[in-house]
Structure 1
């Protein structure tokens, strides 16, 4: 049995990313589903951009943005904040790159709720928080679970973004996908196979869970 630190690191990154994305996306998805305004389509396109943007491109621009040689990187360095080649850099990159996988299903679910539901809630003078958490979330629970599962799976399998912004620092940024790549480069086939089999089993488990979610 080889070192499973990359697997544990990937699971940690995926869990934290999914948790943060859920709370980041919930209210914007609700607001955008219930309101029309100038520029909404542009905003929705920006939020979905990581779906079509090559991960290395996003990773490159994040690396440039947070580099100590640029304005933002220099500014953050004054507060002893470094957002390249560490776990925090991976987390920020993963949140940005996996955002559509959380946002889009929740946005679609909110959009498909009947308007009379919100009219009744308005008549009952429900607060926004009460409306979202007590009324809407129970109705769109399968979509939320699906969004969380897909965000988790997408983060687990990501390679390009995390390689660009995080590199391969042992125990810090060397996630499972990078460990497989490096094992193949070093012709450590048994190690690559072991990590790949674990990722395969996790991927199957995720898809298996989704089948139950879809039936509800």
Structure 2
């Protein structure tokens, strides 16, 4: 007796399907974006424009900055030079090495640097006054010392004659040409750390002189 197949055949997989895999169903499409206006809403906020500096403008700015710095340095140097010139005597007294610098700078400008006038740097030692050839001629000896390390200008000397009661009988002012020895370079000043004894003959015209007083000063 023929045996008939009682088992039902399994349904065939649809075309394009892979056996053993479950079918994939796509999710529903996302909600669409809200519509927007074609023209933006008015904005009352303040806006500003952005500009880009050109390379030429930057170079000009750098040049102007460099020129300003150079001008400031030059003006500062000029101010320092002017102050140094106004205070040259003080600088030469305390820093004698600056005297050649001032002399060299002045030579370029056609001028001359004179020795400092510092009366505190001069010392008048014990002087002597005696008669020569009768009572009408006197001889004055004055040792003048420069205590500083730089040459100082020769001062003027005031000679005052006094009688026995110390009353003034005569007064005379002697300029450097009157008391310096012949050939002395007066314009160079009294050398630093030296002592020079000045000898001066004075005609009194018969004025009595029992005592005297000597002072140095700069006119």
TM norm structure 2: 0.20
**Which structure: greater helix fraction?**
1
**Which structure: greater strand fraction?**
2
TM norm structure 1: 0.20
- Which one has a bigger Cα radius of gyration? 2
